[in-house]
Chains A and B, each alone.
Chain A
């Protein structure tokens, strides 16, 4: 069941109706856990066993922390136990067994909980029902956001009331997610697949368009999924963690990583980077910490060495950015241009976008040979491959999204009413655009494979 299918929409509708018809909060949560397990088990039944195993390990570890004097060995054992299924399925590639969907996401949710309890950041959760729902809540199980216990568990304690605001904003999030996936990502994907799968036959201009479109595709695909998850959660009264904050408007690599896949990179920040010493340490140690985070981040995406190279690429960019920050500042100052200058900010945004987009090549191509092949061909300029109809549909969607994000970026700290639109208009416009311009057969979300 794909999240953009009619089956999913019908499933969601039934879940929401039944959820609000159940008067008791415990039964509601029980219903959501059963539904989430059903959705998850629909993909492969053995996926469910691994999920339940992880839930069991993390939950019992939390309980044991209360009584155990030697907490350190316990936390190590718990984390190892949680990492075993991930390592076995993801990095050892068992033949005839598919990678359990979302295993990287829920393993990190469980590890985060165990560490939070170990560091006394949160209280131990005593309800297996609440804990199970926190880990396996169906909108976030496949590709996050990676929920935090401190944010999610308190929400599960109270009964969520049916409200127009939640339903309306949830529905709009859901529709924006569909719009980003079906109208933009799938359309961009048609061009990207055509060009990158036969990059030897395409010239530099086509490949540059392909790189640009891949950046838009991966953003709209993943942010689209995250919005669908957030929308589903919101319609049931839960606020899941926001995963994207207009990352392509970031003026630096460091800021980009605060706005891209926020739930993962804040996870790395809180559970890896800060415990290693964060940025309050000697420069060499700082670079080491950055390297650890980005290498782990690359490996989190998969066993392919291209992911590792992608991590190293971003590590190098981040280190260079830190090393050159004061000299770049002096250079700007010599021209009398302050940090608040709009042109300077725009230039920074463009440079960051180009650097990030180039890095996506490691994601898009299957091996380093292909990455180098694309780079070599970029210098060959000729008339590009332009499937006009598909690109026109993409452009319609892209312009709408760009307009929305520019307005949000410009007015995010000001009066929201200046950019808000009537909810009815938003819903109808989005539905009309999805139905008219969407590429419906675009397949599964990219991040479902991680």
Chain B
């Protein structure tokens, strides 16, 4: 009798614990996800704008190099088309595919996509950036709202899928960003974020000597192809661009991207070594404001010329 009572008490305690945990997860996690999705300022606000409200005709996709290199005003003026820069630090093909799919799912279809390419769009990432995890983490508060973002989760390991059942987990490491962006005065604009100054610490004349390659990540190739197919099926013009760099980009990875681009007739502009002037760079891999201005002018005229030739 006493044993049965003990077991009943135990089951009750476990049940109460589970209910409280689920309630805390759904309520607190739900609030956090809601705040994330409804942040209208700062970096999160910029991403939210792109997913939920953007209607620009030119869309720039890429990592921080896209964010800091593509001066949307110049591109917009030159092409006479509205332009949005959706580049985001540390993101690669997974994020870009999910972002574009979410936009298309909403009904927003850009006319032209310029995708800034880095070797890590196809090679295995050697750090915590440029991988599937970081793309899912960035978009996880949107899980359940967009099929395309859910599909990104479906290719991740089962542990990730289980963890993302928790709404709190979806907001992991985001609370401070949410608070910061809620009080930020940066309203969503054309997305371009110029870098000022010069912190370069490599000798630009020594470029081309160091090549460190990593193996190709098969899933990245698949997503690159999926993004191309998505653009082709929606009749969106897609351009691949390698923007100027001061340090070396692995050419093994880029060869594969070149091959995929050639197979799919995607115009490819390689401007990796277009600039020899170190004063145009902010650091090893990013242009500063002046560099971005020059690069954007060159890019816009190339796109224009290409479009005219076509």
Contact = CB atoms under 8 A, between A and B. Distances in A.
Interface in B148-182: 159, 162-163, 166, 168-169, 171-173, 175-177, 180
Contacts of A438: 172-173
Contact of B17 (A6, A427, A435, A440): A427
Contact of A435 (B13, B16, B166): B166
A167 interface: yes
A13 B209 CA distance: 53
The CB with the most chain B CB atoms within 10 A, among A167, A432, A436, A438, is that of A436
Nearest to A429: B24
Contacts of B172: 435-438, 440
Contacts of B13: 164, 167-168
A5 B162 CA distance: 11
Interface in B1-33: 6-7, 9-10, 13-14, 16-17, 20-21, 24-25, 28-29, 32
A162 interface: yes
Interface in A367-424: 389, 392-393, 424
B168 A6 contact: no
B128 interface: yes
A431 to B, nearest CB: 6
A441 interface: yes
A195 B226 CA distance: 39
Contacts of A167: 10, 13-14
A13 B6 CA distance: 20
B133 interface: yes
Contacts of B176: 389, 392-393
Contact of A437 (B6, B166, B173, B180): B173
Contacts of A441: 128, 133
Contacts of B7: 162
A6 B163 contact: yes
A167 B10 CA distance: 9
Contact of A432 (B6, B9, B28, B133): B28
Interface string B269-293: 0000000000000000000000000
Nearest to B131: A441
Interface residues of B, number: 30
A7 B160 CA distance: 11
Interface in A5-25: 5-7
B128 A7 contact: no
Contact of B24 (A5, A389, A431, A437): A431
A303 interface: no
A170 to B, nearest CB: 13
B10 A162 contact: yes
Contacts of A440: 163, 172
Nearest to B201: A201
A349 interface: no
Contacts of A431: 21, 24-25, 168
A428 interface: yes
Contacts of A192: none
Interface in A262-287: none
A439 interface: yes
A162 B2 CA distance: 13
A392 B10 CA distance: 38
Contact of A424 (B17, B159, B180): B17
B20 A435 contact: no
Nearest to B23: A428
B168 A432 contact: yes
A439 B173 contact: yes
A441 B166 CA distance: 17
A77 B128 CA distance: 49
Interface in A125-184: 162-164, 167-168
Contacts of B10: 162-164, 167
B273 to A, nearest CB: 26
B216 to A, nearest CB: 22
Contacts of B128: 441
A436 B17 CA distance: 19
Contacts of B159: 5-7
B14 to A, nearest CB: 8
B168 A436 contact: yes
Contact of A164 (B9, B20, B175): B9
Contacts of A163: 6, 10
B163 A389 contact: no
Nearest to B128: A441
A424 B173 contact: no
B9 A437 contact: no
Given A162-B10, A427-B17, A431-B24, A6 B175 contact: no
25 contacts: A6-B162, A6-B163, A162-B6, A162-B10, A163-B6, A163-B10, A167-B10, A168-B13, A389-B173, A393-B173, A424-B20, A427-B17, A427-B20, A428-B20, A431-B21, A431-B168, A432-B24, A435-B25, A435-B172, A436-B168, A436-B171, A436-B175, A437-B172, A437-B173, A441-B133
Closest 9 CB pairs of A and B: A435-B168, A6-B159, A435-B169, A389-B176, A428-B24, A392-B176, A164-B10, A164-B13, A428-B20
Interface of B: 6-7, 9-10, 13-14, 16-17, 20-21, 24-25, 28-29, 32, 128, 133, 159, 162-163, 166, 168-169, 171-173, 175-177, 180
Given A167-B14, A436-B32, A437-B175, 16 more contacts: A6-B159, A162-B10, A392-B176, A393-B173, A424-B17, A431-B25, A432-B168, A435-B25, A435-B168, A436-B28, A436-B171, A436-B172, A436-B173, A438-B173, A439-B173, A440-B163
Interface of A: 5-7, 162-164, 167-168, 389, 392-393, 424, 427-428, 431-432, 435-441
